[in-house]
Structure formats: C-alpha cells, structure tokens
Structure 1
C-alpha cells in the first residue's frame, strides 16, 4: 500500500465537512426551478462547444440515462454533471428534454479528483482492495474541492423541497455538503459499486469524513444487501451515530433536529425492452450469424465482455481457458474465446500494467494453441455500439462473467435480455452483484481456477433442454426487474415520507 510521503506538500489545509468550509454564497431562500435534480460525475450527454460558442451534444449511452431521462422529462428535471472534457466552460443548456448544468473541471481536477482520489484511492478500496489503494493528501483535497462545486451547483438549481438524487463514489461528500446549503431538500444517494467491510474501509485516512458525507442523504442505496450492511457496520464502528435495522439515527445538535437515514439495497438493472427489441431485428440476427462465420464456424463460442479493469477477473478467465486447452479438454478451432476489453482509465498506471499482462497472455495462448487463420482467443481492445454487442451476445454459446468484485455487472443481464431464443449459458462470478438475482447461471468462484474450468466444460456440454430451462428463468427475472423499475423503487422509497411529491 502506498502512503503519501510525510514531506509531500499539501496545496491547502485538509478541509473538514463542517458547514464552515462550504460555499457561503448560496441564499437558502433563493430556490431554483427544478423539482427533481440528478447529480452525477458525468452529464447524460457528451457535450462540447461549437465554433460559434454554442453547446453541441450527443446522448451518452448507459442504463442510468435510459432510466432517468423519462423521469427528468416528466418532472421538468435538471442534471448536474461534468461534460466530459477538461477546461471546457459551458453555461446551463437544454438537451434531449432535460436541463443540463455543466460543472467545469480543469485538467488538474481530472488528474487529482477523478484519476487520483476517485479511481486511485476509492475504486480499489471499495472493491475490497483488489489492488492496493493509494492515499495522497493532495488527491483528497481536490476531491473535497470538486465535491463542494457539485453541491453548490445542485443547491442553485433545486426548487424548494425538491428531490435530489446523487450518483456514485465520485460524489460521496455531496449529500452532507448539499444538506448544509439546502436543508429543505430530500436527498438520495446511490452507490453503483461495492462497499467493503469496515476492516478494509478503515484503512482510509478520511474514513469518517466519507461516512459523514454519505449520511447527509435521507436514503442511501446499494447494489447488494451485504454492501448496505457494510456501510451500517462502518457507521457503528467509526462514528458516534446509532443504527437499528436499516436506519441510522443522526442525533440533534444545537439547532439541527434529529433525523434518520435509511440504508438499503436497490439492485440496478438494464433497459430490457430496448435490448430485446434490438435482438429481434433481422439485421442483428444476420450479423450474429456473420460473426460465427468470421470466427470459422466453431462448435462453441465463449464470450467475455468487460471494461479493461483489474476487478473483472480477465486474467483468471484467460488462465482457466489456457489450461483447458493445455489439458486437451478443449480444442481449437472447435472452441474459441472472444474477449472484448473496452479501454478504461488508460492514464492510470495499474490499468496500463493490466493491459500489458492481458495482451501478453493472449499472445502466448494463441502462440501455443492457435493455427493459421484460427486463433484460440480473438481479443478486441475497443468499445462497440449496442447493436454490435447484442449481435455478439446472440453469437455466443457461453457468456463468461468472472469478476473478482463487482457492484452488479450489467453485462450478465444484457446477455440474458438479448437471448430471446432462450439459448446460451451464463457462467457468473459469485462476487458480482448479479449473482444474487441470477441464480440459474452457473455460479463460480473466479479464484478457484479448477472450479471455473469445470463450469466452462459443463456449460459447453449442457443439454439444450437444460439451457432453455435456465435461460427462461433468468429472462423472467431480468424482464420483471428492469432499470425503470429500479428507479421507481428507489425514488418511491425516497419520497415515501409525509407531504412528499412522488417523482416516479
């Protein structure tokens, strides 16, 4: 574990979460115009500035946008977020039926707040320290500074007693900062990634500040019940507040009344209807057949689709596949593995190292077991549009999801949604949140290489009747609990208090 050196200069004294460090330029009486406000690290569009200075945009892909866009339009909502490029200054603008409020980030902000504290400290720590988190005070100071900026923008646009929904680990301090500025608001927070046991979380030097930041929300949502339990245990161990069941009681102090924070699981899902519609298009079905032809018409196509991230277990998957080839239990070209590894955080050293390791392993396995025109592994370091991904899902006989730790893993659900033919087998890590719901998958421990190898061969050899039975059950679960239902459940719970207006 890397600790910031004692001689490392701090650009400013380490702030606390006391209201005195928050912006004092927000007039609590000067309410904004929007009854429903989403605060996320990114805007739901990729924004830029045209030559004439006007904003240009295209809608960003993602399940969160799909879930919240209809709610935003129905409730005249606003979305606060970063436009995606550093040193781009944009005024608030309307796009895709939503009011968008850009938060400007400099290159230094992106380096320290986003690549540094968010992805060099919090990401590995909250994923059970799969790799060592790095603790630098300059990163922390930038994280506080940028979170304060997001809170200030949200406070400006929210109407009196509005509902504000804050998203994910980049903004863990915003709930308390926003409550200090606008105590009239109903505040929800959803953590899209895991939360570790307190024994791991306690390593963070700013552990109490992070918990105090989270507890500014009225409702904290997580992917798994175990993640909610870990937050509650950390609160009991590291703060003075009391917990009972799902509820944390924040005691009264001076003029602040007592209030209660609920922490519960709300597992996210996907746009099932949209993916099902794409999977039934004739051109997508034909593309799936073309993919198999391009692969040499193997008997079995295995598929992995991941961001190139050390939490996804890509190296474990390649090891298991390589050993199966070495043992002679699988043979090329009868079986081939397609691995899509989307680029991710390429400026972070640990990700550069992972890419090198994965590509060396792929090259070695192909050198040992491939032949001219017949690779054992087809490796693509690209991102693909939805239509191409659905075609890949339809072309694959076995989907391999081998995450070492994952909040949910929506790829598993996308594969199930795409399989309208009720064919295909899902091999799924028990450490992905999706395993709580998709019990008819073949559940594995990715650290158990022999167990993973057995699951892969079982999936390949599974009888058609058994494949259909399992996939029918998996699809029923995914269809009944899509991303719109997720948003409805969370917002319904958040707004369940007396005299609250529902935003669902």
Structure 2
C-alpha cells in the first residue's frame, strides 16, 4: 500500500490567505522546498480520514477563512486538505521565529565545514536567544504538540524542520499514540566547527533542540554526512548511544537515516513546456551571448556575494556572457540579514561595472518572480550557477536538470553547486554528468569552473543525471520516509 501522510506539522501553512473571503480570489500554495517536497504524499480528506496539516496562520486574512479552532478545508490539486492554523501574538512570534529559529538555529546549523562568520564579512554569528525568546520558542512548539495530541485518531505524526525541533519530545511526553517522525530540511552542524558559538547558554539550547528531535521514533536528515554529525552531537550532548539502526536513548531505539529530498519532475516539466523565454534571455541570444543564471532566496547561506565576485572577475578577464541573477526576499525583518544586503549591493555594483567594459548585459535584482519564469530561466540557461556556502539539499540544480531535458543533449547547461550543498553530496559533483561541485570560498576555482562551464566542460547535463532526479523524486522520498516511520514501532 502506498504510504501517505496522516498528520503534518510545519511552521509554514500550506498557503496564506492574502485576500478576504468576499473577494473570491483564490490563494496559491506557498513556495519553498518543504512545501514542494511534501505535497506529493498528501492524502485527500474524505471527511473522516486523509491528511491534516497544522501550520502557523500568517496570512493577512487567515482568520476570515477558518472556524473558531482554526480549521478549514483547502482545495488543492491533489484533493481536499484538512488544514488548521495556529495563531500567535507578535512578541511570541518574534521570539520564536526572529530570535531562536533564524538568528540562532539557522546560522548555527549551516556550520558544517567552515567557520562561516570568520570566513565572510556578512555571515552572522549565531546569537544566544534571550530567556524571553527561548520561552516563545517553547510556547510555539508546545502549541503544535498540543494541537497534534488533539488529533486523537491520527495513526502517525510527521514533524518538519528546525522551527519545531522540540515538538517530538513534547509529543512523547504527552503520550502521543502513534509513531512520531521528524525531518530536518537544513544541514546539521559540526560540533567542532560550531564550537566557538557554543559557549555558555548556547550549548544548552542546542542540547535541548537535539533532545527534542530525539523524541521522534524516526529522525530523517538530508545526507549521510548530516546523519554522522547528528549522531555525534546526540552522543556528546544527550548521552545517546549508537546502536544497530540508529541511537539508543533512554532504553528505546530512535532510528536515524538519510532521506535526500527530491522534486516533482512532472510539475517542472509542465512549466518548462509552457513557459515563454524571459526577455533578458532573448536579448542575450540576439547578441550571440551564452546565459549564466543565478536563482535563489536572498539568504546569507547562498554564497551570493562570492558568486558575484567570480562573475566580475570573469568579465575582467574578457569572458563574454549575459548574467541574470534574481534573489527573492526572505525572512524580512530578521536583523541578521542587513550585512548581506550591503555585501550583495557592493559586489553587484562591481560586477555591473566589469560587465559594462566588456559590453555584456548584467542583471542582479532582489525580487520574487513567478514559477514559470523560474523554470524558463533554468531551461534556457547555459550555466546554472548556484554557490551555497552550505545547504540542506538545494533543489535548483534538480529543477534545472529536468527543465533542461527538453533541450538536445549537446546544448544543455552545466550546473555549478556549492560543495557543501546536499545536492553535491547526493548526486556527485565531479562534473561528469553536468553537475559540478564548487567551493564558493575559493574564488580562483569558482572563476575557473564558470569559464569551463560556459564551454560545456567538463560535461553538460546528462540523460543519466536527469533519470536519477526522476527516480528520486519527492513522492519516492516521502513514501520511503513514511514507510520507514510505520515500521519504526
């Protein structure tokens, strides 16, 4: 029998209502890796069974659409979804989301190989949350755990990502009846690399997070490297002992495994077939120039300043190409992002000047663009240039591989991906199949990889790479995790 999610807990709602009910304007599903990955394993709600999704109510008009307990039925392409929203005051939300999740946990968890605050001028050091901030984090996690326990008939619960890391332990303490799964979509840090930021209270906060994750019956991470780092931290911080299949914690087995997230290839293919070329790409073609594309959220983990520096240096060496870079706004209002914006603007100005002197179009903007335009750029690029300093997976290379499958093999792009992104670990980054791992902190090698990529070297996206992306799609990822979760108890 195909595994389907019964109860999903995620910081993000399936969609946000940004229009009132009377406007009769349908809301669209949220974007992002978590939503894209989980959607294929949603089971339609038939009035008694199916998937229930519990998320935070952040949309401007969310309260108009739900009943007194926060429930509504959402129409989705995969059928009805039973959905519940939890609402929090601004102070609680700022402590949970601004302080703990995104000023402490997010920068800390991406420290997998390099001390990034020391290696860059803009990557923020993880900040120890205040007592009130940590209290807010606990309050939000407790609310999710209580909401899950109210779903008495749910045979299992799947908790997602670092914002809700305490929930598995809270569910276990409350006697939740079914198996509890937890999946971490971002990397897990190296204790050795993160050591300078784990003095005093920070170490205790990380210990509490790991302890919360260990409340699950099954903990899933993106790569085997993440699993190894988690096992080490669980042992050092929580006295968990490695055993066959996972960890021994308080006399019970916590299964731990790598479950690399996939994409929905059919969704990408459909967009690639219907999407019109982006104007800037057409202009580059008229000039006879190859096109380099950089697409991601404007986050300090994405290595955007390093990529722009490499772009500028390639222009200075006389390499001619058009560049289209788009960084979508993210986590607005979180203080840690201020230095990044300054760094991006500075490096973009230098790259723009270098492009001018060789007569090449250059675009770097901070904007959100539609899905069809995203896929169009991935489809038509000659180099897809991602440069994450660290990443849980990074789905852009996978989307690009599928979108590029519509092009003849000899005309496809080369994809560059950060060496510490999950996609490079899982799919291999030697370049032989069109995916090449690069170190964003080594500018000379970054420039060399870009120049070689423009020449189609060491190889363009291969049929074998495309086939592997199809084989390890989001549906197979979710079904594998859920099947293992059912077997965990």
Q: How would you bin the TM-score normalised by the shorter chain?
A: 0.7 to 0.9
* Equivalent-residue separation in structure 2 for 1:297 and 1:342 (angstroms): 27
Q: Does 1:112 align with 2:91?
A: no
The offset of 1:495, in angstroms, is 0.8
SS across alignment from 1:434: helix
Query: Which ranges of structure 1 fall in alignment gaps of 5 or more residues?
Result: 1-33, 252-257, 499-504
The answer for the alignment partner of 2:317 in structure 1 is 327
TM-score scaled by structure 2? 0.85
Aligned partner (choices 107, 121, 130) of residue 104 of structure 2: 121
C-alpha distance in 1, partners of 2:39/2:361? 42
Q: Does residue 180 in structure 1 map to residue 173 in structure 2?
A: yes
Identify the residue that residue 16 of structure 2 maps to in structure 1: 46
RMSD: 2.5
Deviation at 1:169, TM superposition (A): 0.5
> Do residues 93 (structure 1) and 86 (structure 2) align?
no
* Alignment match, 1:8: none
Q: Is the 8 A contact 1:223 1:268 kept in 2?
A: yes
Task: Measure, in 1, the Cα distance between the counterparts of 2:93 and 2:379.
Answer: 38
Deviation of 1:59 after TM superposition, in Å, equals 2.3
Q: 2:378 aligns with which of 366, 380, 393?
A: 393
1:352 and 2:347 matched: no
Greater Rg over alpha carbons, structure? 1
CA 1:144/1:87 → structure 2, altered by over 3 Å: closer, same or farther? farther
1:78 counterpart = 2:56: no
* Residue correspondence of structure 1 range 152-301 to structure 2 within 5 A: 152-159=146-153, 162-200=155-193, 203=198, 204=202, 205-251=204-250, 258-281=251-274, 284=275, 286-288=276-278, 290-295=279-284, 297-301=287-291
Displacement, 1:49? 7.4
The question of whether the paired residues in 1 share the 8 Å contact of 2:104 and 2:127 is answered with yes
Range with greater deviation from structure 2 (80-89 or 268-277): 80-89
Structure 1 length-normalised TM: 0.83
Q: Using the alignment, how far apart are the partners of 1:315 and 1:69 within structure 2?
A: 33
Q: Report the Cα offset of residue 53 of structure 1.
A: 12
**Alignment-derived partner of residue 401 in structure 2:** 416
Contact kept? 1:275, 1:417, Cα under 8 Å? yes
What is the 5 A alignment of 1:341-490? Answer: 341-370=327-356, 376-420=361-405, 421=407, 422=409, 423-439=412-428, 440=433, 441-462=435-456, 467-468=459-460, 470-490=461-481
User: How much does 1:63 deviate?
Assistant: 4.9
Confirm or deny: 8 A CA contact 2:241 2:249 kept in the other structure. yes
Distance change >3 Å, CA 367–CA 68, structure 1 → 2 = closer
For residues 106-138 of structure 1, what are the alpha-carbon distances to aligned partners after superposition, in whole Å with 9 as ceiling and x for unaligned? 111221111111000000000116330011222
Q: Gapped runs of 5+ residues in structure 2? A: 117-123
CA distance in 1, matches of 2:400, 2:23: 42
2:209 partner SS: helix
Take 1:293 and 1:241, find their aligned partners in 2: how far apart are those partners? 57
Distance 1:320 1:62, change over 3 A: closer
199-208 vs 133-142, which moves further = 199-208
- Indicate conservation of the 8 Å contact 1:362/1:377, yes or no: no
Residue 305 of structure 2 is aligned with which of 305, 315, 332? 315
For 2:194 and 2:181, the matched residues in 1 are separated by: 22
